[in-house]
């Protein structure tokens, strides 16, 4: 997530610089939207940390079912079909 945020910040700078060069409100609008994306991604960092810490704790306490492979456990914990509650 942190790498994605850094990438978004780079894109934001590109659009901001381009908007200044071209005096383009449309390009500036893209920069504002990217800024919203950055804020959203940063808000998800705490959820990511919580999930990773819980997974580590589960593993330490033997809560990981031995019938699962690491990939199956990952899919259960980080199910991409579920929405994150923020």
pLDDT per position as a tens digit, 15-35: 999 999 999 999 999 999 999
pLDDT digits (tens, 9 = 90+) for 39-75: 999 988 888 888 888 877 877 777 665 667 777 777 7
- Note whether residue 82 is domain-resident: no
Give the per-residue pLDDT at 17: 94
71 within a domain of the structure (yes/no): yes
**Residue 44: both structure tokens together:** 């998800």
With respect to residue 85, please indicate whether it lies within any of the assigned structural domains: no
d(CA 18, CA 23): 8
Answer yes or no: is pLDDT of 6 > 90. yes
Phi-psi region of 62 (alpha: psi -120 to 50; beta: other; left: phi over 0): left
Give SS3 for 53.
Answer: helix
Range of the domain at 21: 2-77
Instruction: Count the domains in the chain.
Output: 1
Residue 47 included in any domain: yes
The Cβ-side half-sphere exposure at 70, using a 13 Å CA radius, reads 2
d(CA 81, CA 86): 15
The whole model's pTM is what? 0.62
């Amino acid at each position: 997530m942190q790498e994605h945020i850094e990438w978004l910040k780079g894109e934001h700078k590109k659009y901001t610089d381009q908007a200044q060069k071209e005096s383009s409100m449309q390009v500036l609008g893209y920069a504002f939207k990217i800024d919203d994306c950055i804020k959203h991604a940063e808000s998800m960092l705490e959820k990511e940390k919580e999930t990773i810490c819980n997974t580590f704790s589960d593993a330490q306490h033997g809560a990981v079912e031995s019938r699962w492979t690491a990939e199956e456990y990952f899919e259960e914990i980080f199910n991409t079909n579920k929405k994150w509650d923020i």
